[in-house]
Amino acid sequence: MNFAVIGAGAVGMLTASLLKEAGCGVQLITRRPEQAKQINAKGIDLDGKIQFIDAFTEWDRIPANAFILVAVKYGHLSEVIKKLKSNCLDNPVVFMQNGMMHLDSIPNLPQKNIAAGIVEHGALKVDETRVKHTGKGLFKFALLSGDEKRFHPLLNINGVKAEWHPDADKMLFRKVLLNTMINPLTALLSIKNGELLSNPHAYELLKNIYTELYAAFPEIETLLPFEQVTALCASTAENTSSMLADKLAGRPLELDTILLYTIRRSPYTLPILQTFYHLLKAAEKE
């Protein structure tokens, strides 16, 4: 099975390495030629284990039989959308972004078979060729358009745990709600996930966010019970959330596709989340 992973950030390098280790054919498409050159020379170092993966920037080198896994952040997605529209590719495509705003772009794509993907692994990019696997998990997929059967091979890759979900909206919105609770708080307070439980003031804020979300989305009680939120914080206690990692690295935060999306989807005003959104936006702009 062949894959073209678009994006060489933490998720892209981790995904490419796991697929290569599983015996798949993998190409990594980077945004910058300099990173591709380094990866071709050194390979990708995943926790000290090197995987040599072909890296390049040219989309016309993507094999016709490859699954395209889009692993760029939301802020760089517009470039990828342009490439998908202009390169006459008919490959099955999987979007693996946080949040849900990217779904607005999908109906306009020429590709017939498109799925959404969620990565429940923890990953931290160290530098251009090194990534840390900070938490083992699984990949989840759901159909957005086309033939579901085209994506079933993704569930049978040796050593790569994956699940198929029948409802893309529920699958993605659950992740959005989880990110809405954990990411802004950790980014604002500059704390690791576990401190949302050990710090009594952070824990009180976490509970208040859940209460606010419950009023707007009562389905959260079954979709994402509070016990599952705290269990994830405990199991990833030493992890740095993706939003905090972006803040520390001086990168743009994925505020719109996570926080703003949730605020807009809500039938009611969400004052706590609106405050968090504007605080982080103000700090990001500064």
Q: Are 102 and 71 in contact (CB under 8 A)?
A: no
* Sign of torsion over alpha carbons 9, 75, 224, 118: negative
- State how many domains the chain has: 2
The domain that holds 230 is classified in CATH as: 1.10.1040.10
Q: Tell me, yes or no, whether 95 and 194 share the same domain.
A: no
Q: Tell me, yes or no, whether 16 and 98 share the same domain.
A: yes
Query: What's residue 284's pLDDT?
Result: 82
> Is 97 buried (19+), middle (13-18) or exposed (0-12) by CB count in 10 A?
buried
Instruction: Report the alpha-carbon distance of residue 180 to residue 183 in Å, rounded.
Output: 6
pLDDT tens per residue across all 286 residues of the chain: 999 999 999 999 999 999 999 999 999 999 999 999 999 999 999 999 999 999 999 999 999 999 999 999 998 999 999 999 988 789 999 999 999 999 988 888 999 999 999 999 999 999 999 999 998 999 999 999 999 999 999 999 999 999 999 999 999 999 999 999 999 999 999 999 999 999 999 999 999 999 999 999 999 999 999 999 999 999 999 999 999 999 998 989 999 999 999 999 999 999 999 999 999 999 886 5
* pTM for the whole structure: 0.93
> Across-strand partners of 31?
none
Q: Tell me, yes or no, whether 156 and 180 share the same domain.
A: no
Last residue of a domain, one of 147, 166, 185: 166
Query: What's residue 164's pLDDT?
Result: 98
Structure tokens at 19: 């697929």
Count of alpha carbons within 13 angstroms of residue 143, beta-carbon side:
11
Q: By C-alpha distance, which of 153, 149, 142 is closest to 118?
A: 142
Residue numbers of the domain that contains 141: 2-166
Q: Tell me, yes or no, whether 21 and 145 share the same domain.
A: yes
Q: Tell me, yes or no, whether 162 and 246 share the same domain.
A: no
Q: Tell me, yes or no, whether 62 and 202 share the same domain.
A: no
Q: Tell me, yes or no, whether 175 and 146 share the same domain.
A: no
